[in-house]
Amino acid sequence: MSFFNYRNNLIHAAVAAALATINIFIVLTLDPPNLAQGVFGNIFYIHVPVAWSAFLLYFAVMVCGIFFLTKKSIEWDHRGLACAEVGTLFMFLVLTTGPIWAKPAWGFFWPWEPRLTTSLVLFLIFLGYFMLRQFGGNPEQVSRYAAVVGILAFLDVPLIFLSVKFWLPEMQSHPQVGQYFDSANPLPTYLVIFSFISLLVLSSLMVRFRTNILSMKDAS
């Protein structure tokens, strides 16, 4: 039976589509959070929540890896792989939307500064994860190794968050954590949170759909 034949999944998809439509409308029509930047400043409402979603999905890869190693259930392996795939798609989007924003804001697409570099490293680690999945040999062994790589790869996420503090200020292009959120005008904060929630609903649907397909593949 098709994934979208189930009522719950269809409701989940309808809610995700509605939230995504509202989010696109907000991003395209609202005044930018930083008026000095002009309309392209609204990229902030997509770029930041996509990054948060990617990090959360990679956190889920780590949790699934731990459950797989302790419970030895193939379902956790499927969930972990689905989270890794969706997380890497989101990470790719972070790494492409960032430079599109950076060009008009900073004047160049890609400065080799700490947060960008550590984000690229995380993306490359997960490319290695998929190569391991594809070419690792024995499926049971590959699942175990992939779970370990997924757990270790998550160590890069706190490094990305804290990279703006770890390295010298002269090396930074990104703002400090929380610098964009102004308590006098909380609207941008609410909108980023709304965008994040809409992407969470969408990404959870993607993970569930992909897990379902991986289980179908395994059964066939």
Size of interface with another protein, in residues (CB under 8 A): 32
- C-beta closer to another protein: residue 39 or 155: 39
How many Cα neighbours within 13 Å face the side chain of 210? 19
114 contacts 163 by C-beta, under 8 angstroms: yes
CA distances to 55, 194, 199 from 20, rounded to whole Å, are 19, 10, 7
Does residue 121 belong to the site contacting another protein (CB under 8 A)?
Answer: no
Q: Which of 19, 153, 192, 206 binds another protein (CB under 8 A)?
A: 206
The minimum distance between CB 39 and another protein, in angstroms, equals: 5
CA distances to 31, 89, 154 from 159, rounded to whole Å, are 32, 20, 9
Does residue 2 belong to the site contacting another protein (CB under 8 A)?
Answer: yes
| Integer Rg of the chain from CA | 19
Task: Please give the residues from 90 up to 109 whose contact with another protein meets the rule CB under 8 A.
Answer: 92-93, 96-97, 100-101, 103-104
* Secondary structure, 3-state, 120-179: HHHHHHHHHHHHHHHHCCCHHHHHHHHHHHHHHHCCHHHHHHHHHHHCCHHHCCCCCCCC
Element (H, E) at 192: helix 187-219
Does residue 24 belong to the site contacting another protein (CB under 8 A)?
Answer: yes
The minimum distance between CB 170 and another protein, in angstroms, equals: 27
Amino acid letter for position 112: W
Does residue 22 belong to the site contacting another protein (CB under 8 A)?
Answer: no
12 contacts 4 by C-beta, under 8 angstroms: no
The minimum distance between CB 214 and another protein, in angstroms, equals: 10
Does residue 14 belong to the site contacting another protein (CB under 8 A)?
Answer: no
Task: Please give the residues from 31 up to 70 whose contact with another protein meets the rule CB under 8 A.
Answer: 39-40, 42-43, 46-47, 50
- C-beta closer to another protein: residue 63 or 95: 95
Binding site for another protein (CB under 8 A): 2-3, 20, 24, 27-28, 39-40, 42-43, 46-47, 50, 86, 89, 92-93, 96-97, 100-101, 103-104, 202, 206, 209-210, 212-213, 216-217, 220
